[in-house]
Structures are given as structure tokens and as C-alpha cells.
Amino acid sequence: MQDEIEQRGKPDVSLPPDAATELGITDHIEGSGTEAVPTSTVLVHYVGVGQATAQEFDSSWSRNDPIEFGLNQVIQGWSEGIVGMKEGGRRELVIPGHLAYGSRPPTPAIQPDETLVFVVDLIAVR
């Protein structure tokens, strides 16, 4: 699965014109492997862009290093947005600020309450 995803390469991110008020989920590629559940640990490649700044603030693709984490260890938009995704899939998450970092983002690259857009490739569910 990882080889297939690596061959796709880093995705482009399209930004909505306005800040989001609720979680948006769009599957660009539907996976065919194991489905993520709320208690899953997942291995993903992703790119994240701030809607207000139009700036990429993080990307495992840029580091060439996928990341593994439990869905209970990340922002609420990821915890909710990855559930139901299947291995091999590519999903876009448009996450409103209150489901991301709220008024206290971890880096100056993200503005307070900023809508974040992620494109996530699910490599493995553990």
C-alpha cells in the first residue's frame, strides 16, 4: 500500500474561499483496505495548508517521512475525519478552527481559529 501511495506523490491542496464552520470530508480516492475506527492507530502521509494564509504549515510528504499516531492523540478534526477511511484512500479534511487548534495554535504559521485543510493518504491501520 505504501508503494502505491508513494507513486501518487504529494497532493495539491485546494482551499475553500471562506472559513469552515463544520468539518468537511471529501474522498478523492476511496481505499480498499482496513477501515479506520476511533481507536485505530494509523500510518499516513499528509499535507496541511492554512485557509486564511494559503500557506503550507506542515507536510510529511516534504519530509519524506509518513507519521503514525493514534486517532485519540490528534486534533478533533483528524479524530473525526479519519474514521471510516480505508487503507489506500486519499481524503481531504477541511477543519474549522474550533476542531483544530482554536485560539492557541502550536506555531505562528497557523493563525488563531484558522480553518485548516489537510489532504491525507492512509497507508496503514494498526
Any domain includes 47? yes
* CATH number, domain containing residue 58: 3.10.50.40
- Residue 55 falls within a domain, yes or no? yes
**pLDDT, tens digit, 9 for 90 and up, residues 69-120:** 999 999 999 999 999 999 999 999 999 999 999 999 999 999 999 999 999 9
Residue 41, in any domain of the structure: yes
Domain count, the chain: 1
**118 annotated active-site:** yes
Q: Which one, of 86, 75, 80, lies nearest residue 125 by Cα?
A: 86
Q: What angle do CA 94, 126, 118 make, to 5 degrees?
A: 15
Contact call for residues 27 and 118 (beta carbons, < 8 A): no
With cut-offs at 50, 70 and 90, classify the pLDDT of residue 42: very high
Domain housing 91 = 2-8+20-125
Q: Which of 5, 46, 95, 121 is catalytic?
A: 46
Q: Among this protein's residues, is 46 annotated catalytic?
A: yes
Q: Is residue 14 assigned to a domain?
A: no
**Catalytic residue list contains 101:** yes
Active-site pick, 101, 110, 121, 123: 101
